[in-house]
Structure 1
Amino acid sequence: MEFLNVPLFDDDFFKLAFLFTVNIAFLTLIIRWLYYSVTGDKSYVFTYYLIGIVVFLLCFTLKKYKLDIGLALGLFAIFGIIRYRTDSIAIKEMTYLFVVIGVSIMNAFVNKKMSYFEVLFGNLMVVGAIAILEKVWHSKHQIYKDIVYENIDNIKPENYDLLKEDLENRTGLVINKLTIGKVDFLKDSAEIRIYHYNK
């Protein structure tokens, strides 16, 4: 049965429903069980889910039109917009974003050349690798914060230890390194980026 020359239903619906369920299940493992439980940061959970769902549906839809080259170019354009048109995010969050997009694309492009077991194996390998790195090895990643510092005398190279000690006392963080950016002598302030490991 058709409406306006478009079929109301075809067998691909069952494939879409099954793969969508698989995709959501593995996104939940990656986003909620791994990312959120380690970082405790809710700010990217919404974004990761929505990007994963939209990328999956977009790829599944375009796959039916055999737009392989155009799809690849379009995805690069999407990645470019995400990278250059939004606020920069930390490397770890960007890595999770890449994983979410990659898993969604992989799940969407299932065809006769790839079995369901291969897709499930690929998903399990991704989740397993993240679980080992995050839960077993407890790998730490270095993050940074930008602050405005008013004690201008401490930014001198010979006062590096004083500067670091002062910043650690004020922030309560163990600082690995710090870099001094823009200095405003009129306001007696400097922009400093401090690097520390996440807890």
Structure 2
Amino acid sequence: MTSTIDLPFMQLFLTNILFILILVRGIYFRYSGNRETLFGLLMFGSGVFLVTFFLHNVDMSMGFAFGLFAVFSMLRYRTESLNIKDMTYLFLVIVMSLMAAVSKLPIMHLIMVNSILCFIAAIAETKLLAAHLYEKSVNYENIENIRPENHHKLLADLQERIGLDVVSVKIGNVDLLKDVAELTVYYRTQNVIQQTQNQDNLPPTYNGLVKQENGGS
């Protein structure tokens, strides 16, 4: 028995696309503003649904099955590492696509399950669970301030120079020859999405700090 493009297929496909859009466009993109990841999640979910739907009834040899698994195992974002939040959304997209393709749930039950997943994701993105913190990677040249006794000076200097409500700082590699330290700054802001979307228009340096915006949680 093989799957065909018929009315049930279109219902499942459109339902899957609808809820992936709700998840990644209505929830994920609203808080992250990352258009590239939005595109990747949408296309990844569509591809998983189509491949799974058309192949789950096909008799496959063990070698072909392992080969298919190997192909999927290579579908990793090797050029840019995914943070835990992005990987969680990727996992939810795969779950939704697999349920739509092979679960055999009635369409109304599938809608209910997907609605519950989207609701949980929406609640998790709010401040009901925890306050939002975002991170910025910077190269900091005033390494005297990274000493434990100067921690308050470090926070005050970063707040003044980058204009953000800095909450905490994690110190990475320290180059004593160049007097430069790699810092990860955690901060609160109300304009994270706008800053992320305008990131490409920012100058490469700002008051001695090399800036790179990253969404956090």
Normalising by structure 1, report the TM-score.
0.79
How far is the alpha carbon of 1:138 from its aligned partner? 7.8
The one-letter amino acid paired with 2:72 is: I
SS in 1 for 2:174: strand
SS in 1 for 2:178: coil
In the alignment, structure 1 residue 159 sits paired with structure 2 residue 153: no
Distance in 1 between residues matched to 2:116 and 2:43, nearest whole Å? 22
Superposition pairs of residues 19-168 of structure 1, within 5 angstroms: 19-65=12-58, 78=72, 81-82=75-76, 85-111=78-104, 114-134=105-125, 137=128, 140-168=131-159
Cα offsets for 1:52-83 (capped at 9, x unmatched): 1111111112212256x986995687357526
The one-letter amino acid paired with 2:102 is: F
* 2:196 alignment counterpart: none
* 1:195 alignment counterpart: 186
* 2:171 alignment counterpart: 180
Change (3 A) 1:132 1:82: same
Contact in 1 for aligned 2:145/2:151 (Cα 8 Å): yes
- Root-mean-square deviation (Å): 2.9
Distance in 2 between residues matched to 1:157 and 1:79, nearest whole Å? 44
Contact in 1 for aligned 2:4/2:54 (Cα 8 Å): no
Distance in 2 between residues matched to 1:132 and 1:145, nearest whole Å? 25
* 1:5 alignment counterpart: none
How far is the alpha carbon of 1:118 from its aligned partner? 2.1
How much identity, in percent, do the aligned residues show?
A: 33
Change (3 A) 1:45 1:186: same
SS in 2 for 1:29: helix
Task: Give the number of aligned pairs.
Answer: 187
Distance in 2 between residues matched to 1:138 and 1:43, nearest whole Å? 27
Distance in 1 between residues matched to 2:119 and 2:18, nearest whole Å? 14
Distance in 1 between residues matched to 2:127 and 2:157, nearest whole Å? 34
How far is the alpha carbon of 1:171 from its aligned partner? 1.9
Higher relative contact order (CA 8 A, sep 6+): 2
Distance in 2 between residues matched to 1:72 and 1:144, nearest whole Å? 40
Stretches of structure 2 that go unaligned for 5 or more consecutive residues are 191-217
SS in 1 for 2:82: coil
Distance in 2 between residues matched to 1:79 and 1:196, nearest whole Å? 35
Contact in 2 for aligned 1:62/1:71 (Cα 8 Å): no
Change (3 A) 1:90 1:175: farther
Distance in 1 between residues matched to 2:115 and 2:15, nearest whole Å? 11
Change (3 A) 1:173 1:78: farther
| 1:17 aligned residue (2, 7, 10) | 10
